[in-house]
Every structure is written in structure tokens, then in C-alpha cells.
Structure 1
């Protein structure tokens, strides 16, 4: 049922139902139906076919029977009749394999033969994806047979034109999770590598793909002829090896220990074929973020307490910090994450700035392509000028560098170094760029956990919070000269983060709730209140970091005090009173298993709202952007509302 709320069309989907992408009607929810709906969306938004060309459960006459085809795509301008079918698609639930005797790809053969003008077929279970072209059979007694091809053609292109992609054919992806998983699993299974090695090889190729998208001519491709032979696969390997050599020359700081791509020619050709038609640089940030987060998380999560920060928390932190600055200040503000992991906070900054630059350029001139080109240049300059990240884990830093490149940055200000060490012990190139007291904003989620402890006495000696604190006769906490033998890193990161900021610089930090409530950590809270002003404290739901860790956390927003403020407070003998923004996020868009949770009515109906997007179609051999309105479920997440409330509070009271 559709209703209008605040001018938007809102749908309510009962439990056990889905809203059809094709008809907007309610249909039964099943694992196979989820796969079919994703494929229909892909056919429209990625391949450019019109909804009017698509039918589901189309009855096909096969050997005296009428069998339902999961999806039929018809030739342009033709009525939905069997003789007008152009593409047949079979969708299965994920546990059905392509080799299954009854439901696998063999089923497609009889379907394709029965539709005389059908030219292509696609079989998928949401993970596997197999594409075929119908050709005349050389087998006696068989008229047609399916020939494996890399992909079905996009709307407006023939298979011959589709052989070597040009930039008009590249399309933004609507979903990349299953693509990356399919490739990662293929490398792992066919190359005989460990999963982490397979992941690393995939990252190299993603890097090559993005690099190629910035060139004048496409080199990241494989033709159907090449993928079908050893000689052809060798040609692909030679082409991609040359491309990777160019990548290594430009990004020596990322690939200094990676002289070559390690995949064999056949596996490499497969991976290239799976990625070649996407335009990663033009793909929505959330689509890339979902896929990259899943890929990285599966391979690198949690060995040293580095539980990756969910993107909704990153967005909230970035929104709050940017809201406290003018647009001009944001343009030149230096921002750092001293425990950057795979770069979640930094990517949120890039996404926010990309939208700002895009809106600015569209207001000047409505040309989308012109705006995107300017935005790409602006983002690269902004990141080189303003954005920095540090992490102790070299593998995570490389993943962050690649993450930034996928999102349009050159990633030159990301360093693998222990940010808790004294700056004098950092490499010279890092010490020259990252100086204490030089950053306007900082956002971080430092590693925490029972198994990670800092016990280096030399390192501990430089921190106030690593010393023993005692109350004097007046009951005031004071630092002694005694140094503790061991410390959890999150406490040291509080102090290092404040040290990195300029006076009156702003900080967003995720901390375990024990820091805010444990009686034994009273001295830490005293240090925070002495050296910073608490702007906001946001209590995060226990599910925020589950299932990686069950540690309850809060997001603290702090402002470093300047020397004058601290001197006056010390002279006065007490801390001043001031307002603090406080909020509780009871819901964070997911449950304890990490599954997304969407908003529902009291009766259990899922709430969906209209979302405008743009798709690219090929019309008369030229790209045309077309607006498309779809329905999307709404995450049951309090964080966006908390962001709204903070901005309103800050504009009303916080700036004073």
C-alpha cells in the first residue's frame, strides 16, 4: 500500500513479502525471488534495458509443455511473444549450483532452442553468473547450442561492439558485493591461494581497473575469443601485466613489495571479464563501500583489535565535525585519522566533499559529465592538501590506500607507522607531513581489546595517561612520576589524538564505555576534561560493532583547549560549566549478527520510500542519462536523526 508522507510516496511491505521492481506489486519473499529482483534491477540500471522489455514467469512452449522462464527480455519495440525473446535469464537460490542436473545451466539449452530469435542466456544464483550466446550447433541432431561468453550485451550494443569496451559502454554498478565475492572465491578455488592472498591479488586488479578508467584508451578488457583459449589468455596477461607496471610506477609507495600479478592467465582473464564493463569511479559510494567493507572484513578483520568502524558511525562523526566549521574552513582544514585501518572515516570525508563539489558545479552548469570531471580533479587536490591517515598495520594501510583510490583519491598521505611512538621516531617523510599540533580535525576508532597491551616503557613514558595518578590532600588528581607497566592502546590514543590537534581543533573518537564509567579510569576522565571541552557524547547501541566484538561503545566529540583556557581554569581551581549534546542511539541499522534491520510499522510491514537515481542508456551510440524512481527500504538507524539534532543544537547553542 502506498501513502504520501512529507510529499514522498511511502510503501508498506508486509512480512514475507517483497515489492516487485518490475510491477511494484507485492510478491512472496523467497531466496530465489531476492536473486531475481537483483537481476531485474541490474538489467535496467546497469544494462540499460527498459522495464517494458522485461517479463517474469513468461510461459515458454518447450516440447509440448509450457514452462515458466524466470526472466525474459524482449527485442526492442516488439510485443512479448515467444518469437521476440532476446535474452532468457534463469535465477536460482544461492545453494543451487550451476552443475545441478535439474536446475543448472543444462536447463537453459532447451529454453534457448525453443525461442527461435533468442540470442543470449544468463544463469545465476546470486553468486555464480554464467552467460551464453546462442550459436548454430555443430553436433548432429542439435540445431543450436549455448556458447559461453563474458557477459550479455548492454542495451543498444551488439556482441561484436561489446567485445572490446569503450568508455561509452562502461556503466556504474548497482551492486558489487556478489561480484567481488564471486571473483575472490574463483581466485581462491582455481589458483590454489590462501584467501588472504586471493584478496590481495584482487585488490591489485581493482587498482588496475581504476587506473585504466582514468586513461585515454581502455586496456583492462578481455574478448570472448581470448577467454576461450590459452593463447588468448596469455594475450590478456601480457596486456594487464603492462598495465600493472604503469600502476606500480605511479604508486610505488603502495606496491613496493609487489613486483607482479601472481594469477595464472586463465584466472586473470576471468577476473578481468567480470570487472571490465563496470565504471568503478562513477559507481555510487555506498555500493563501493558495501562491497569493499565486506571483502576487506572477511579477510582482515580483528586480529589486532582493529574492528572496522561501520559507515553510519563514520558518517555521523564526519557530519558532526564538518557542521562545526564554515564551508571555507572545511576547504582548507587538515584532517587525520591516527588509527585509520582501511580508511572508513577518511572515505566518509571524501564522499561528503565529493557531494559538496558536485552540488556546487551543478549549480553553475547542469552538465553532469562536466561536473564529474571537475569533481574528480577537486577531490584529488583536496585529499593531497587536507587528508591524512596513519596505521601500524601495513596490510590495512595498503587496503586503505586502495580504498581511497577506488573513491577517487590518489592516497599519497597514508602511512604505515606506529602513531603512538614519539614523532622523532617516525620515518622522515611521515614526520615532515604529520606534526603534532597541526590538524584542525581528527576522527578515529582506536584498537581496543583484552589481548592488545602496550608495555614498552620508553613509549609509555611520553604519555600523561601512562603515569600513575593519585589524589592530593584536596582530593584533586595529580600525575606522579611513576610509569605504569602496561596500558591498553585506546587510552594512549586519546592523548595522542589531542596532541595532534591545533588548539581549538575538533576530535571525534570511538571509545569503550568503560573509559566513561569505570571508577579506576577516573583519572582518564579528569585528563579529558582538563585538556578538552566535551561537545557531545553519543551512546552507541551494543550491536554497533557486533558480531566482531560485543564491547559497548560511545562516540565522543571533543575540542582541544588552548593554553590560555587551561591556564585560567588552573588558576581558578575548577572547570567551567557548559552545555553538552548527549544522545542515545538505540538502533544502528543492524542486529547482533550484522544483518541489516529495516524500519517497519507496528504491524510488521516494511517501510519503503521513493528514491531517485540516474541510469545510463546507449541511444544512437551515445550515452544518455535517464532518471529512474525506485523504492528502497529504510534502515532502522537512529544515527542520521542524531546528526540532524546535533546540527540544529550546534547552530542554536553550540557555536556560542
Structure 2
């Protein structure tokens, strides 16, 4: 008897025309794609996934009659569970604007929200999201409302709650992709409203992130990193909050003395700005939020620390992930947790963070299998193993103190390894480094080196004491070179950091790979390492850092014996005729890089 055929299923394929985007709340509805619509859809997603509201109780572009004029459409109306969608039943109104719109805007600012709330008799709560996030509570008692009908609130209530409150850990929810917008709004608030330089605002905000994570980990009962509406709207309440956060930060300093070595360091924010940031962050559980979400959010604000004057540019997250995945793929899986890894120009720690996330996934898979699919137990053991492993095997160097701190914070946010990020100039003799750096990092110690070194002929290395360490300063030259760009020397220094047989992934300007005048570098590379592959990156890859330099990721394997050399003819120094493992990939667009198109080809 023939076996029954499996039931056929129909998959709905929706074609979205250019200039349109799907509505998160109303299934099948397409909206015009605009910057404001993207904000509205993110807020709508947050209301469902983070605040806990049911989609059926939300209505986008709900018409509200204001005065004697024609009805106006509010961005999002929230109704009581199961209630009919009528103006007189609206409980909360949300207005979402472009991220450059200020609350004081005459047409789209906070006054517009107040007018909608006033026209909706039972609407008690309002949320305005644009350049800032502001919440309002409307006084429904007519006798009291005549004086001040709108009061500042920390947030709108979570689904099922009557009003915002001091939160317990059980009230927190993992953040979604909207965390990027939260980080960006809070950082911009500190820059604009607290009048802090962008870099100062970045580090003050990260102090709060550390306090938030510490409170989630160690707190119990009412969380200290939480603010009520009553506290936020008056000076005494803001002062009480500042006292709680100050006490948390003292404990953070004790836990991370290498990040905060100055015992007198404190949070340098005015109380109003502090209350704003706490209100933005308080409902999220950062320790339960996925590394990809935290990484994307961190990336939103970390670019402000890039030091273009030092040739340092922020490395996009997808480039970091690409390089790390390629490097690990050159080793057997059984060795992945044994590899010692260094970024000698670590900047804000992008490559190290990508390494940490890769190792986290490897360990979690092992623990998940070990504990029979129990995800909570697997995650608990993964966290402790990951911290121990990173403290042993992940290392970083940068010469700028502010970037060392940014990298340390990045790693601590994602699982750790932050103790091994040190301040030093990787190109100077190791003997000149201070003890904290030279005790942790030395030559020929690492299995993997990955980096995006500083670029630029305007940053020449012309100190003869430094240049004489490098063969490249004399290789193929009639007389020693008196000046070289840093990226040239970083190639040699990275290979010096590697053990024999170690792997290197380095981001380089394409001129090193193609310029006839730099042929000596290509020849020298082939006397020191096997060329595994090269990935040609899209021109726009570093556009956010205001540079359009054509770049590639070069993947090399250090020779097992440094005395071994390859006799190569000059005209064929990059020929593919040698029996090497070689993969050259040209990635035409950022979309192709993100999708991994062409990157899973097997080497030959």
C-alpha cells in the first residue's frame, strides 16, 4: 500500500513594492517607507515585545476628533484589553517622530501629544518618541486638572499595570533591536541637554550601563536602577535616585578596578539627565539580552570614540564577524577553545567582542548537549566557562587610554576578557612597554592575531629606533627607509606576535595588495607566511567613519620556521600558480557581505 502523501502547505509570499514597508500591528497593511514610519514601527514592536501589550489592543493612525475641526490621526492608540476601538476608550496615546525632531517642535512636538490626550477623555498616559523619549500622565480629576493637567512620568505603564513603579528583576524584559534607538537617544540627550562633548557623553553613559548590569546581577527587591514618576518629576526624588546610582557605581569600581582605577571617579551627570537615562533603560534586562542586540546598540554610539587624527576608524560589526569566522575555520573545531587571540590595535574592541561571541556559541552548544537541552542550565554554565576562557585567551592592545577603556567596557558588557586589554604602542619595542602590558603580551605567543591597524601616510613612523626592529624598513631597498606608514609595519609586527603556524587576519588598504611601488611588501609577506585568502571589501564599508579607502581582509598563516624562505620571482609574487590554500573573494556590496554570499566557498 502506498504511503500517504504529506499534506500540502501553502506559503503566503508577500511582495513589498519599493517605497513601502509592512505594518507590524495591522497584518497585510503596507505603509509608506519614511524615517518617521521606521520609528513608529520600532515603537509598535517595542509596545508588544517589551511592554507586553496585545496587538489587538493597538491601533495605528487612529482618528481622534480634536475640537471642532476634522479628525486627526494619532500615531498609536492603546486600548484596554478587548475594548472596542473608540476615542472615548483610549487609555494611552503614543506619538513617534523622526529622531531629529525635538519635543519643542511647534507642529510635531510634545504639545501635539497633549492636544490628542486632552481630546480623549479617558486617556491617562502619553508617550512622545523623537530626539528624546518623554512620558506624560494626565490628571483625570477635573478639580485637580485645572491647575496642571499633565505631569511628567518615567514611562507609560507595562501591560496589566496601572502606573509605572520601582521595578523588580521579574518585571524586566530582554531588549529587542529597539535597544539601538534607546542607546542613541540617551547618548544624544547627554550630548545636547547635558552639554557634554560626544566622547564624554559616551563614557558617562557606559558608566550607567555598568551600574545597570551590576544592579541586575546583585540587586533584590526594588531595583536601585529604577525611577518612579514621582522621583523623576521633582528635585528631591532625582537626588534620591542619584544617591542610589552613586552607591552602585562605587561597587562597580571595586569590581572593575582596571577599568576604573581612580577610586575618586564618579558619575558626572546632573540629576535630571541621570533620571532621564535611568527611565530609558530601566525596563530592560541587559544580562538577558542577546549579544547581537547589545553589540548593535553599542555600535550605534561607539563610533564617537574613533580617533581619525590617529588614523583609527571604527570597524563595522559584520567585518569583525567575517574575519573571526574565517580565522576559526582554518583550525579544527577541537582546538577552538584552546586558541590564544590578540588584537594589537583593538580600538573599541570589535574583533575581540566578535571572538567572545563566537566562543560563547561554541561553549553553549557543548553545555546544551551536556545538560540534555536545558537552556537555562546550559546558559548558566556557559557564562562562567566563557569568563574563565576569555580571561586566559583574549588579549588587546591600544595606545590611546580612552580606546583601551572603551574596549574593556565592550568586553565586560558581553562576558569578559576585559582584564587583558592593555595600553601600549604595539609598534614600539616590547621592552619599552610598561610592566602591565609586557607582562601580558609578548612576541610569538599567540595562535591568532586579528586587527584593523591605523592607516595613513600622514601618520608616518620615522623614529629610527622603531624602524630598525622591522625587516620591512630595509627589505628590497638600497638604503634603509627613513619613514613608513603604520599599516606597513603592523603587518610585520602582527606576524611577530604569532607562534609558528599561527593565523593572521588584517584589514589593509588595497594599495598594499596592488600598488607596483609596494611590491616589496608583497614579496616580503611571501617569505614569511602562506597566503590563505583575501576578501575585497565594499567601498562603502567604512563610510560611517568618513573614509572611502578601498580595503581588503588579508588572511595569512605564519611559516612554521622563520628561517625558511620562499624563492619567488618578482613578477609572480602574487601568482596563484603555487600549491597554496588560496581563497580570493570580491564582495561587491555591504548586502552581499552581510548575507555571506560567496564566503562559504571551499579553498583549493
Same fold? TM cut 0.5: yes
Alignment of 1:116-515 (within 5 A): 116-125=121-130, 127-137=131-141, 142=146, 145-159=149-163, 162-217=165-220, 218-257=223-262, 259-363=265-369, 364-470=371-477, 482-515=479-512
Match of 2:111 in 1: 106
1:512/1:553 contact within 8 Å kept? yes
Alpha-carbon shift at residue 195 of structure 1 (Å): 2.6
Query: Alignment RMSD, CA only?
Result: 2.8
Alpha-carbon shift at residue 115 of structure 1 (Å): 3.5
C-alpha distance in structure 2 between counterparts of 1:141 and 1:329, whole Å: 68
Alpha-carbon shift at residue 238 of structure 1 (Å): 1.3
Alignment of 1:572-651 (within 5 A): 577-589=579-591, 636-637=592-593, 640-645=596-601, 649-650=602-603
C-alpha distance in structure 2 between counterparts of 1:413 and 1:537, whole Å: 29
DSSP 3-state at the match of 1:220 = coil
Q: Are residues 1:55 and 2:59 paired?
A: yes
Deviations 1:43-64 (A, max 9, x none): 1122122212211122334446
Deviations 1:95-147 (A, max 9, x none): 5432234433233334334444433211223x221112232357678499232
Q: Which runs of no fewer than 5 residues in structure 2 stay unpaired?
A: 1-8
C-alpha distance in structure 1 between counterparts of 2:77 and 2:305, whole Å: 37
C-alpha distance in structure 1 between counterparts of 2:420 and 2:105, whole Å: 50
DSSP 3-state at the match of 1:57 = strand
TM-score (norm 1): 0.83
Structure with greater proportional strand content: 1
Alpha-carbon shift at residue 489 of structure 1 (Å): 0.8
Deviations 1:571-606 (A, max 9, x none): 9999953241111111123xxxxxxxxxxxxxxxxx
1:172/1:283 contact within 8 Å kept? yes
1:316/1:639 contact within 8 Å kept? no
2:585/2:599 contact within 8 Å kept? no
**Alignment partner for residue 43 of structure 2, among 39, 51, 67?**
39
C-alpha distance in structure 2 between counterparts of 1:466 and 1:284, whole Å: 46
DSSP 3-state at the match of 1:254 = coil
DSSP 3-state at the match of 1:643 = coil
TM-score (norm 2): 0.90
C-alpha distance in structure 1 between counterparts of 2:43 and 2:199, whole Å: 29
Decide whether aligned partners of structure 1 residues 388 and 95 sit closer, same or farther in structure 2, where only a CA change above 3 A counts: closer
Match of 2:559 in 1: 561
2:175/2:289 contact within 8 Å kept? yes
C-alpha distance in structure 1 between counterparts of 2:80 and 2:338, whole Å: 53
Alpha-carbon shift at residue 543 of structure 1 (Å): 1.8
C-alpha distance in structure 1 between counterparts of 2:56 and 2:549, whole Å: 50
Decide whether aligned partners of structure 1 residues 269 and 410 sit closer, same or farther in structure 2, where only a CA change above 3 A counts: farther
C-alpha distance in structure 1 between counterparts of 2:10 and 2:587, whole Å: 27
1:313/1:639 contact within 8 Å kept? no
Decide whether aligned partners of structure 1 residues 7 and 74 sit closer, same or farther in structure 2, where only a CA change above 3 A counts: same
Decide whether aligned partners of structure 1 residues 326 and 181 sit closer, same or farther in structure 2, where only a CA change above 3 A counts: same
C-alpha distance in structure 1 between counterparts of 2:534 and 2:494, whole Å: 17
DSSP 3-state at the match of 2:564 = helix
Deviations 1:590-644 (A, max 9, x none): xxxxxxxxxxxxxxxxxxxxxxxxxxxxxxxxxxxxxxxxxxxxxx536612332
